Chain A
Amino acid sequence: MNGRQPVVVGVHATEQALSLPHRDAMGLALEAVRGAIEDAGLTPADVDGAQVDWPGPGGVPGEGSSWARMLGRDLRWTSDSMLDNAGSRGLLKAAAAVRAGFADTVVVGGCKLVSRGAGPVGAGVPLEFADVWGSYVVAQFALVAARHMHQYGTTAHQLAEVAATVRNNGTTNPEAMMYGRGPYTADDVLASRMVATPFHLLDCCIVGEGGAALVVTTAERARDLPHPPVAVLGGGMEYHQAAYANPALYREVGQLGRDAATRAYAMAGIGPQDVDVFSLYDPNSFEIIRQLEILGLCGEGEGGPLAASGAIAVGGKHPVNPDGGCLAYAWNGTQQMTLKVVEAVRQLRGTAVHQVEGAELAVVGNAGSGAQHYEMSVLGRIR
């Protein structure tokens, strides 16, 4: 393996809860960064790159180079953008920097509190042709799901099976926001109140608070670090348009991510059937069904039956979100994307709460706005 092969060596998830009134965003970001560096067996001064949210107070809010004073050294790599600081997108940019030699060790993550009293989540900026119609995240995804159901006969019961399966992983995960709630059957999901057809309340993810971070370095640097390194074997990103200004149309974005996945698999030299565990964006039950298709586990329109067959359970053929996902573990704004990487790394280390036995290859899929963007990475255990 190339000495500059990017590897994840540290991860940290803060507490995740519906509300953390005793915490602030800056404190959570600091904890995430400290935690990930400590988990890597490194010290702050070992880190020469920071793609981390800086909410303030202190420093310059929004400016990533504020982290230089916290890490106690001049940085060689940073980012000011929230989406560049999270999940597969943050990880792939950090990996590219490490591979190219712009930096040796990069921390990615942060915290930006978005939910406290926010109610249903919208785009975050005024949208002239959308807001006036009562468009918001759940409704935009619903428009895509409804069209898939119309074209392919995907059923509300299949969606409910997905929601129940992933939620029940959270029921028995002590770190999950919904720990101890449930277990749920598909009928429980269908009996919960309607939010926006076809999504019932239990089809939709929770909205909460928390932070997360990870540390990327080179395989060479990772040799004497405590945890088995997890290699970034491949990745791909796809952007149809900016979020929510136009409605997400199934004919345009229903298969968005397929190209990213094809390229990511090729880069990693694997196929979808080789993947042991999937850590996928689940703002609702349907988005998992869609991703089974774009990730090449079945053909277009076949995701409903596959998802409802038991394949996505921890003991199934294609386990999805053993931590409970956004449906039951945590959705915390942008950093839920990083939590997807954290779970994949834990699975590949063999230390996950609901461990997929012998997991060697994991896929992380982040998405958003209906989904009009997709960011995927392939991670693997180095033996």
Chain B
Amino acid sequence: MSRPVPVATPLSRPFWDAARRGDLVVPHCPACGLRFLVPEPACPGCMSADWRYVPSAGRGTVYSVTVVHRAPGPGFETPFALAVIDLDEGGTLLSHVDAGDPDDVTIGMRVRVDFRPLTDEITLPYFVPVPGD
């Protein structure tokens, strides 16, 4: 058994297509300026359906982190650092921060995206520490 593989939807397909190319893209609403994740049928700020994906530089800060010792199912190597990342341009996402030792991942740590393929279709945006940033 392997870990659950994301199944792209019409809302998310551009996100996964970009990830496969090594680009992080985030929904952005031109009407109200909000950047948000996960993709929604309309902007959570103003309900406009006219949002577009825009590129992110892939840098951010750890908002919170838990070191998971008991995985929810097969396919995960434990322990791992499950973290919430605030991207610099806006938008917040769940990911893993790979710092070698998961206990070294701290709130406030500066990180950058590090794409790693999971399947032919899905490449995942992991994050790694950026020392000195």
Contact = CB atoms under 8 A, between A and B. Distances in A.
Contact of B72 (A129, A136, A247): A136
Nearest to B9: A128
Nearest to B93: A129
Contact of A133 (B8, B64, B96): B96
A76 interface: no
A83 interface: no
Secondary structure at the B interface, as helix, strand, loop or mixed, is loop
B117 interface: no
Contacts of A119: 72-73
Contacts of B66: 139, 142-143, 146, 196-198
Nearest to B92: A249
A146 to B, nearest CB: 5
Which of B5, B6, B12, B72: most chain A Cβ within 10 A? B72
B94 A129 contact: yes
A138 B73 CA distance: 13
Given A119-B73, A196-B82, A246-B38, A132 B65 contact: no
B20 to A, nearest CB: 15
Contacts of B3: 131-132, 134
Question: How big is chain B's contact interface, by range?
Answer: 35 or more
Contact of A120 (B8, B12, B67, B72): B72
B37 A129 contact: yes
Nearest to B73: A119
B130 interface: no
Contacts of A124: none
A146 B64 contact: yes
A262 interface: no
Contacts of B79: 194
A94 to B, nearest CB: 32
A130 B65 CA distance: 14
A250 interface: yes
A305 interface: no
B63 A120 contact: no
Interface string B7-31: 1110010000000000000000000
Interface in B43-87: 63-73, 76, 79-80, 82, 84
A373 interface: no
A143 B9 contact: no
Contact of B84 (A126, A134, A136, A249): A249
Contact of A143 (B71, B76, B82): B82
A274 B31 CA distance: 47
A41 interface: no
Interface in A238-259: 245-247, 249-251
Nearest to B12: A128
A317 to B, nearest CB: 31
A19 interface: no
B69 A134 contact: no
A134 B68 contact: yes
Given A139-B82, A147-B107, A132 B38 contact: no
A135 B6 CA distance: 13
A222 interface: no
A201 to B, nearest CB: 8
A134 B38 contact: no
Contacts of A131: 3-4, 6, 72
Interface of A: 119-120, 122, 126, 128-136, 138-139, 142-144, 146-147, 150, 193-198, 245-247, 249-251
Given A143-B64, A150-B107, A195-B69, 15 more contacts: A120-B73, A128-B9, A129-B12, A131-B72, A135-B82, A135-B94, A138-B70, A139-B82, A143-B84, A146-B65, A194-B79, A196-B69, A198-B66, A246-B94, A249-B92
